[in-house]
């Protein structure tokens, strides 16, 4: 796998801004339209579903800027995000809620940084995956139900692996830190 | 001095684990881990931590032995071993005096015959450890420790990717 050496300059800043923008994706969605009880976790889970919708769109954009193995993994990871979003949406439905629907691709694209080359794409991917890891780890602490926590833990581990792949594609160690928190 | 209550012991354990490493502390603090959590006075939490600690000792012993036998690429082996030692430090501090003795002989069930054989068996042990963290996180009572434990689980999941990379296999 040819490493794509990333430079931590303007691109890093762009990625950071993108992560902030994506973080706002989950905050602007309406609460579930069903009637889950307060404290059931439906609100938080719906926020994660909205974030996954944004991530699916983001990985499509990232993949377009990558080639070879990296492009292959972008497709694989996007597929995993689709599965993850559906698993979390199912948890919302079990609570009697209606998970948020995806928005038109153009709505998400406006929030993404300009992706000029592979290094830009991998910076964006790293920030995105860190945001996802953080969301699921926060879910572990806040969700009240054992099944919700099991699903959240499983997906948190998968997101950490996706982040590891991004590290590897950028030419670094897959597991650079002893504690993966979704923050740097 | 009055003896500490179980609630106090658990609160202290949470603080120790949260402060065990910079990132671990950040995880706990960023998540508001010390604010109004419902500490459950359940002895099973300590048992669960001890179970995780035993697995981390097993992993550390495996990487240490592999480095000594040249059964892993040195840079990778040193990195993974350093991570396992950090995990052990955090878990031991969380358990405090209740921390069990260090695990026994290293490398039980681990194949050191070649780098490839070792990577394969280490991958299996990492996978088993991540599965155990997932099970523990599902049933753990002390919500202050959920995020820090999750951050260790996430690291273990990344170790799987690192080992698959060493094996030249598909990363996911």
For chain A, give the percent of residues with pLDDT over 70.
82
Interface test with B, best of A129, A153, A165 (most B CBs within 10 A): A153
A·B CB contacts under 8 A: 130
Reference B89, options B21, B29, B156, B34; nearest CA is: B21
pLDDT in tens, chain B (172 residues): 454 554 554 455 454 455 444 434 444 433 333 223 333 335 589 999 999 999 999 999 999 999 999 999 999 999 999 999 999 999 998 887 677 766 556 656 899 999 999 999 999 999 999 999 999 999 999 988 999 999 999 999 999 999 999 999 999 9
Query: What is the DSSP secondary structure assignment for residue A181, as one 8-state letter?
Result: -
Closest-CA distance, B51 to chain A, in angstroms, reads 18
Q: Express each pLDDT in A147-171 by its tens digit.
A: 999 999 999 999 999 999 999 999 9
State residue B43's pLDDT score: 57
CB A19, CB A127: distance < 8 Å? yes
Q: State whether B155 and A181 contact (CB < 8 Å).
A: no
pLDDT band, residue A39 (cuts 50/70/90): confident
Residue A22 has which token pair? 């994506």
Q: Do B154 and A138 touch (CB under 8 A)?
A: no
| B148, B133 contact by CB (below 8 A) | no
Residue-wise pLDDT for A49-107, tens only, equals 999 999 999 999 999 999 999 999 999 999 999 999 999 999 999 999 999 999 999 99
Residues of chain A with Cβ-Cβ distance to B76 below 8 Å are 173
The CA distances from residue B153 to B23, B84, B134, B149, in Å, are 14, 11, 7, 6
DSSP state for residue B99 in the 8-state scheme: P
- Check residue A4 and report its DSSP letter: -
Identify all chain A residues contacting B31, using CB atoms and an 8 Å cutoff: 137-138, 141
In whole angstroms, give the CA distance from residue B91 to residue A81. Answer: 31
Contacts of A73 (CB under 8 A, 6+ apart): A165, A169, B171, B172
Residue B34 has what pLDDT? 24
Cβ(B18)–Cβ(B144) below 8 Å = yes
Rounded Cα–Cα distance for residues A106 and A108 (Å): 5
pLDDT band at A38 (very low <50, low <70, confident <90, very high): confident
pLDDT at A3 over 60: no
Tell me the Ramachandran region of residue A50: left when phi exceeds 0, alpha when psi lies from -120 to 50, beta otherwise.
alpha
Residue B123: Cβ within 10 Å count: 19
Residues of chain A with C-beta less than 8 angstroms from the C-beta of B87 = 178
**pLDDT tens digits, residue range A104-154?**
999 999 999 999 999 999 999 999 999 999 999 999 999 999 999 999 999
CB burial class (10 A; 0-12, 13-18, 19+) of residue B118?
buried
Contact B157 A77 (CB under 8 A): no
Looking at residue A117, its pLDDT comes to 96
């Amino acid at each position: 796998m040819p490493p794509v050496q990333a430079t931590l300059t303007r691109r890093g800043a762009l990625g950071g801004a993108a992560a902030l923008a994506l973080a706002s994706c989950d905050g602007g969605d309406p609460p579930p339209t069903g009637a889950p009880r307060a404290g059931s976790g439906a609100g938080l889970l719906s926020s994660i579903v909205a974030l996954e919708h944004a991530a699916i769109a983001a990985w499509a954009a990232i993949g377009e800027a990558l080639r070879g193995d990296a492009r292959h993994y972008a497709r694989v990871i996007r597929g995993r995000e689709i599965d993850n979003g559906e698993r979390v949406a199912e948890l919302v439905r079990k609570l009697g809620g209606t998970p948020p629907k995806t928005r038109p691709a153009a709505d998400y694209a406006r929030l993404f940084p300009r992706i000029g080359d592979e290094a830009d794409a991998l910076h964006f991917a790293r920030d995105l995956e860190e945001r996802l890891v953080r969301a699921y780890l926060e879910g572990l602490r806040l969700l009240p139900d054992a099944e919700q926590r099991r699903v959240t833990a499983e997906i948190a581990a998968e997101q950490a692996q996706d982040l590891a792949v991004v590290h590897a594609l950028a030419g670094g160690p897959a597991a650079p830190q002893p504690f993966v928190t979704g923050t740097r | 001095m009055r003896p500490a209550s179980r609630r106090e012991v658990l609160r202290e354990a949470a603080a120790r684990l949260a402060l065990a490493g910079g990132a671990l502390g950040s995880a706990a603090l960023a998540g508001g881990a010390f604010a109004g959590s419902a500490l459950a006075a359940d002895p099973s939490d300590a048992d669960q931590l001890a179970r995780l600690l035993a697995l981390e000792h097993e992993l550390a012993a495996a990487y240490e032995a592999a480095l000594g036998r040249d059964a892993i690429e040195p840079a990778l082996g040193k990195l993974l071993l350093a991570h396992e030692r950090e995990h052990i430090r955090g878990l031991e501090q969380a358990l405090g005096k209740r921390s069990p003795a260090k695990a026994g002989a290293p490398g039980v069930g681990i194949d050191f015959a070649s780098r490839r054989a070792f990577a394969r068996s280490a991958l299996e042990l990492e996978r088993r450890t991540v599965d155990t963290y997932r099970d523990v996180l599902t049933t753990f009572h002390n919500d202050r420790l959920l995020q820090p434990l999750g951050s260790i689980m996430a690291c273990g999941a990344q170790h799987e990717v690192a080992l698959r990379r060493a094996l030249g296999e598909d990363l996911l």
